[in-house]
Structure 1
Amino acid sequence: MTSKPEITKLSDTVSVSPQLELSDVAALAKAGFKSIICNRPDDEAGDHPRSAAVAEAAQQAGLNFAYVPAVSGAITDQDGEKMSSALADIPAPVLAYCRSGARSTKLTEMAQAKPAKTPSTSSRFNVVIVGGGSAGIATAASMLKRNKTISLAIIDPADDHYYQPGWTMVGGGAFSAEFTHRKEKDLIPRRAQWIKSAVRSFDPENGSVATADGQNIGYDVLIVCPGIKLDWEAIDGLPETLGKNGVTSNYRFDLAPYTYRLVKDLKDGTALFTQPPMPIKCAGAPQKAMYLSCSKWEKQGVLGNIDVQFHNTGAVLFGVKEYVPALMEYVERYDVHLNLESKLVAVDGPAQIATFEQKRGEEIKRVEIKFDMIHVVPPQVAPDFVRSSPLAAESGFVDVDPDTLRHVKYTNIFALGDACSAPNAKTMAAVRKQAPVVAVNALAALEGKPPIADYNGYGSCPLTVERGKVVLAEFGYGGKLLPSFPNWLIDGTRPSRLSWLLKDTILPPVYWHGMLKGREWMVKPHRIGAE
């Protein structure tokens, strides 16, 4: 752990520590802990991570989380009862923390002196949406626009909301990081109730969701869209060197500005760009980072001094063949060394060495490459609480019918976005198309009716091949091209300045003021059986 808090073992099931940092959470999981309890109030003085941020980090690490705040010097019997309930509801071993560890110790002693209480059960809703990202908010807004009388709750622990497609542009110097950020509280639809907690488990047989803070939330219809887990730990040595030693990634809000700083400062040397196995969100983003970097180096007149390498675990540059010729023109223009079937497995930050496993025929070779900068895209998997649930397909993602996005077993459960098993590209454009489909199908399910709309697998990937030009890839299931504009206006297979305008100027306000408000511009749900 980065900050190495001093852990005191109170029993076989509970340990305590002083204040945790977010960087400690993954190491706690590695150390064998199953759960974290925060006993420090969010509004207590001091510069410490808020409970929602720790809950989100815990969820990413596969840990349960409970928030049981207690005021220093004023601990009550009720606080002890809440601690008792929390310890009964989450799996051991548990790490409880506060500012110094003293409150956690006291609360644990009080809890263990009392019989455990059963978890609280909060009210039931017509619709419960798991995930307050783009998919959850867009679907909620679309449903509430159609039916203002339903009760609807969104479960999500995060304080912050991000326009993640903008992070590529931040790494390329076109957007500021703050341009992509809003507060979650400002985006939750007015008639939706925000349950600010992480989900622990699903009980589809009884129609309820259990949260990390001990609530059981009942539903008539459930919509699951918590996003995807970025598995930084899967690459040996990566977590501890991110943000320093020339190691960066546009897949994190705080690191995208570091990408641009590295690019601006690099005048010669070796620059590596990597892509992990599929599925990942925005399959074009790994190479977008490379193209925008090369465009900057070209303008600075230093591109010829830099050995640019693209290492893709896959066997092709891009999964839809119609877009490959235009992309290859830029690979050749920037003199990029293209390495297919080359998987990043380790990063030694201080030594600036990346290790790849490269498939060459039937042989797997292990190759070490010295770098001056490396842009890493982590492997990505379904969130742990989804992967271990009865909702999961063999892939770990929520098992849905790809056309209706309804669960294959449970007719009152739907999923969309990065967490669902549909074989579409995991992009923001896909979510924008999916949300209205799920909205009308979920409303139909509330009335006991079958789905009425279908989804064609549409996804879009605006490939930023240079500053000012984009190859606008739009396609659906099976790689079928699904252009939104006539060919004379935008030929998606060729780089276009108009497509850059779309990416740079038009899509951000469409996201904030259209999609998240339930305005379905150009994405009205397609009725099943209609032309």
Structure 2
Amino acid sequence: MSKHYQVLIIGGGTAGIMVSSMLKRKNKSIQIGLIEPAETHYYQPAWTLVGANTYDFEKTAKPMASLIPKGVEWIKQYADKFEPENNKVITKKGEEFTYDYLVVVPGLKIAPEMIEGLKEAMDSGVVCSNYTNPKHTWEVLKKFKGGTALFTQPATPIKCGGAPQKIMYLADEYFRKVGLRDKTDIVFALPSGSIFGVKIIADTLMNVVDKKDINVRFFHRLVKVDGDKKIAWYEIDKDLTAGGCVTIADGDIASLDKEIQYNYKDVKVSRRGEQFGIHFDMMHLAPPQCAPDFIKNSPLASETGWVDVNKGTMQHFKYANIFSLGDVSNLPTSKTGAAIRKQAPVVVENILKLIETNALSTKEYKGYTSCPLVTGYGKMVLAEFDYNQNFEPDPKLKQFPLMISDSSKEHWRLWLLKKYMLPYLYWNKMMKGVEV
């Protein structure tokens, strides 16, 4: 079978549905094909709340068929190979589809296999992840009886970089509620040297860390998970000071490297050569993430494996009729639905302008993204920033009745935005192709 479309879209996630809906809204006669094998579409930003038992998992799911716009042909298959010189995509079934314009938005791949032992440990016992099974996260929190609660993230790019710490702040409040907090050490181990890339937000979050008495371990790159022995092994991505170990106290807290250890807690740690194993009684992690194999191994990928596009226009550097946005693109910004909210209108405008005049529009994406950082039940900070990591609140969000003048500080109104307004905005505006 072979069929031709004016616009072919690969992926039925946030970007795929939003782009197809916007195109149809602006040009009803445009012929669109959408390749997507999944039956269900999930609103994943709410999974953080599901993991802390404050949002219903069932409400995060809708049938894919209910979201694909009228007049868009759903090709329920896996895309497999690209022949960009022939404007062709081949599916796993071997069927071929050709296009005038291609939009590549299949999302990213959760890749626990990138860390030794993680595949076996994931979503079993006391190792959990909101990224894969938020219902299991809640089971782990409920069964926790005290000890070391370890929260961690990988060195790869991930969906919503703030998510690994949101669940930690919620867990802290839950442990206090059930009388376990004084029996618990909370440790946050992360590969970078800062808790967040935007300074004004990092300052707010470090105040939260102080208030909640959390031990943050910077420059910790996760390399192995031993689910049976409950040990997470790390390598330290920082030159260790000559003359001994400075990441664990060995009885002398004054010797610690303060750039690595913040608010040190003397939890059990094993050492094996250059690796440090943190023993845990529960662990929540964001697993490593990467581009899907059919993207990584395609002519569309950059050296890093992500689709190689211009950061302002999202047009492919080599193939002018191919665009990519969202998680699979190599755009130098966070991989969030909020970024897609601003990227999709630019891609749509560019495709429509190319169809009409064979030239790009003047619209450009400036790197806006936002990360709603839940800091407790009923509290949130909204990190909004651009390509230069400048704190850049969105004027459109400012118009919302719940918004406050300074979203870089914790506020209960921002929690209401996260729990009620953003899901409404997602299902009723973004998914229906309304620019917001």
Structure-2-length-normalised TM-score: 0.89
Any unmatched runs of 5+ in structure 2?
242-272
Pick from 383, 390, 395: which aligns with 1:480? 390
Corresponding residue for residue 245 of structure 2? none
> 1:417, 1:494 → 2: CA distance?
27
Asked if the contact 1:231/1:380 (under 8 Å) is kept, the reply is yes
Corresponding residue for residue 362 of structure 2? 452
Corresponding residue for residue 461 of structure 1? 371
Equivalent residue runs for 1:300-311 within 5 Å: 300-311=178-189
> 2:338, 2:398 → 1: CA distance?
18
How many residues align? The count is: 399
Is structure 2 residue 82 aligned with structure 1 residue 202? yes
- What is the aligned-residue RMSD (CA, Å)? 1.6
Corresponding residue for residue 244 of structure 2? none
Pick from 122, 144, 166: which aligns with 1:288? 166
Asked if the contact 2:191/2:237 (under 8 Å) is kept, the reply is no
Corresponding residue for residue 492 of structure 1? 407
Q: What do the CA deviations read for 1:231-250 (whole angstroms, capped 9, x no partner)?
A: 11011111122222201000
Pick from 107, 114, 117: which aligns with 1:227? 107
Pick from 346, 366, 378: which aligns with 2:275? 366
> 1:490, 1:290 → 2: CA distance?
26
Pick from 345, 350, 354: which aligns with 1:436? 345
Is structure 2 residue 433 aligned with structure 1 residue 518? yes
> 1:342, 1:191 → 2: CA distance?
49
Is structure 2 residue 220 aligned with structure 1 residue 334? no
> 1:478, 1:207 → 2: CA distance?
35
Q: Cα 1:403–1:301, aligned 2, differ >3 Å: closer, same or farther?
A: same
Is structure 2 residue 46 aligned with structure 1 residue 179? no
> 2:90, 2:174 → 1: CA distance?
48
Give how far 1:341 is off.
Answer: 0.8
Question: With CA pairs under 8 Å and 6+ residues apart, which has the higher RCO, 1 or 2?
Answer: 2
Corresponding residue for residue 35 of structure 1? none
AA matched with 1:429: A
Corresponding residue for residue 335 of structure 2? 426
Question: Where has structure 1 moved over 4 Å in runs of 4 or more?
Answer: 485-488
Give how far 1:480 is off.
Answer: 1.7
Asked if the contact 1:490/1:498 (under 8 Å) is kept, the reply is no
Q: Cα 1:490–1:300, aligned 2, differ >3 Å: closer, same or farther?
A: farther
DSSP-derived class of the 2:86 partner:
coil
Give how far 1:446 is off.
Answer: 2.1
Corresponding residue for residue 345 of structure 1? 223
Equivalent residue runs for 1:395-414 within 5 Å: 395-414=304-323
> 2:362, 2:84 → 1: CA distance?
22
Asked if the contact 2:147/2:280 (under 8 Å) is kept, the reply is yes
Pick from 375, 382, 395: which aligns with 2:284? 375
DSSP-derived class of the 2:41 partner:
strand
AA matched with 2:59: F
AA matched with 1:141: S
Give how far 1:229 is off.
Answer: 1.2
Corresponding residue for residue 505 of structure 1? 420
Structure-1-length-normalised TM-score: 0.73
> 1:407, 1:451 → 2: CA distance?
15
> 2:10, 2:18 → 1: CA distance?
13
> 1:367, 1:503 → 2: CA distance?
36
> 2:375, 2:96 → 1: CA distance?
48
> 2:404, 2:224 → 1: CA distance?
44
> 1:186, 1:486 → 2: CA distance?
30
Q: What do the CA deviations read for 1:57-85 (whole angstroms, capped 9, x no partner)?
A: xxxxxxxxxxxxxxxxxxxxxxxxxxxxx
Query: Higher Cα Rg: structure 1 or 2?
Result: 1
